[in-house]
Structure 1
Amino acid sequence: MTSELKKWAYGLTFMVLGSVVIIGTLLMINRLAKGPEAQELARQTSFQVERKPEPPPKRVVKRERPEPKRSRDINPPMVNLDTSLSGIDMGIPGVNAEDLGSLRDALLGDTQDVVMTDDSVDQPPRPTRQTPLPYPSSARKQGVEGYVVLSLLISAAGEIEKVQVLEASPAGLFEQTAIEGVQNWQFEPARYQGRNVRVWARQRIRFDLS
């Protein structure tokens, strides 16, 4: 019994010593691993964050706007425009209607040579004789209807002096018939300021099969 107890005590002692040796070896290895390189790495990676102090708030200075100077109300002197001209000789001779007519004829000449438009005269020309126009055979065969707008130069005697085509529909079908047909028309001349005048007048001619 005593020999077994001694064996057990020796075994326990060896186990404790072995554990101490192993732990010491591990501590030594750990210290060697944390040598100068590890310390240098720890020194390089260490940093400190510095907080910059916040700047003081800016003071806003309000500038007061100067009040605009009020202009003084100045009443300008009133000018009396109600001045009578009676009794003052202006040195202008009197002018009557006959003198104005003579002056107009001297400046414009004979109104029979002036060509006006039907909307600028006192009385536009009025047709007194209008012969019917023949229907073009080509248009009749095709069953086509249309119209022509002419500009007529009517003399101071009421006769046709010139004809111009302003518009035609359809084009190239009724124009010639319309121009030839109005050559024999007669008009009451246009009048301006009591005289017969030459005038351009618009005339629309319709061609219908009915």
Structure 2
Amino acid sequence: MSSATPTRRIRLAGLLAAVLGTVMVLTLLVSMNRQFKKPADDGDEGVSKIAVVKKEKPKTKDVVQPKPKPRKQPPRQAPAPLVGLDSGLSGLDFGLPSFDDSGMDLGKSLLGDSGDVVMTDDSVDQPPRPIQQSPMQYPPRAKAQGVTGYVLLSLLISPTGQVEQVKVLEAQPAGVFDDVAAAGVKTWKFEPAMYKGEQVRVWARQKVRFDLSS
């Protein structure tokens, strides 16, 4: 009886040691499993979430076209007077005369000189305008003597802009520049005078100055 007691104790101790060892192993496994288990909340960590937002199409508003404003008629500009060549040309070596438009008008007193109907300055809508002016040769003798002056001419301008007649109304000095001025003006080309949209014949005056000053 006494010899069996130590043997039983040894067995109990071995069994207890085995149970404790098993419990420790299980405890260690459970502890390690808890440490390495990922939280459920972190399952989506590292994954970018993109929220898709539907863009609503902007509502198109009906565009109301503004009523066009009535166009204002531009004020009627006065027709340009007959313009002569620049007076500075008279000082060149060519001795070209200058053309003074201060005396250019439509003369009523000249209506009787033509059998055709000629418009007056009161009835014409647009006076004639020179579009081609050929230069005139300064008379050599007058140029050599330094003589200056002017010639006032009356021009009958046709509906096509041609100079039909030329009359000398006044010359200073007389007989020096008359022929040169009359011959030169005959070669001019005009934009015809207009009346109610039609080209008309008209008388006009033109002063041609002969000046050697620069």
Query: TM-score band, normalised by the shorter chain?
Result: 0.3 to 0.5
If each structure's helix is expressed as a fraction of its own residues, which one has the higher value?
1
Larger radius of gyration: 1
> Structure 1 length normalisation: TM-score?
0.45
